[in-house]
A and B are shown apart, each in its own frame.
Chain A
Amino acid sequence: GNSVTQMEGPVTLSEEAFLTINCTYTATGYPSLFWYVQYPGEGLQLLLKATKADDKGSNKGFEATYRKETTSFHLEKGSVQVSDSAVYFCAFNTNAGKSTFGDGTTLTVKP
């Protein structure tokens, strides 16, 4: 069945460190892929997305590339800030418009 596996957390980094959060998926067909971010006390919001193979989504210094051959969509940022502390969710859509989410990875950035 459909599933998303993302790197277990929590992840703790120092400010300006490099971030990678791994995400792989199992799905039929070629789904659109998403990263959502959830700041403390808030709902999820879209961080970036990619709708076809080799597409790169980017926003706020974060990037992720849709790799069909490895069914992956790893999130990266070259230099994290304290304000990036949040929970990050990898997800994909099925044709019906429903989404399958990973379990979330909690990131804490220390000054």
Chain B
Amino acid sequence: DVKVTQSSRYLVKRTGEKVFLECVQDMDHENMFWYRQDPGLGLRLIYFSYDVKMKEKGDIPEGYSVSREKKERFSLILESASTNQTSMYLCATSVRSGSSYNEQFFGPGTRLTVL
């Protein structure tokens, strides 16, 4: 089974702090994604990576950056956390070959609170 792990289940940070969220997968998937999930808004894509050192902006990249130095690890960075970034953050992976047919595999999520 694919295993996608996220570094923290719960995180509390202060406004202006730099925040790192880590995602690690063990199934050699090429595609990795970061979403945020908010009530009534569903899942919104922040960033997407289809290979090491490659990244693409999603629908809401403002205030975020990402890093993918190794295939199994995809990091989301909040350069200067703000209260409106309080949310549930979900990491997901998928196989790149035949991408349109492939489901995504999700981690358990990190609930981030910015005070």
Would B100 and A103 count as touching, CB distance under 8 A?
A: no
Q: Is A24 an interface residue when CB atoms closer than 8 A count as contact?
A: no
Q: Is the interface of A mostly helix, strand, loop or mixed?
A: loop
Indicate if the CB atoms of A42 and B101 lie closer than 8 Å.
no
B99 pairs with A43, CB closer than 8 A: no
Chain A residues within 8 Å of B96, by CB: 97
Q: How many A-B residue pairs have CB under 8 A?
A: 59
Partner of A45, one of B43, B45, B106: B106
By the criterion CB–CB under 8 Å, are B103 and A94 in contact?
Answer: no
Q: Chain B: residues with CB nearer than 8 A to chain A? A: 4, 31, 33, 40-43, 45, 48, 50, 58, 90, 92, 94, 96, 99-109
Q: Which A residues lie at the B interface, using CB under 8 A?
A: 31-32, 34, 36, 41-46, 49, 51, 89, 93-99, 101-104
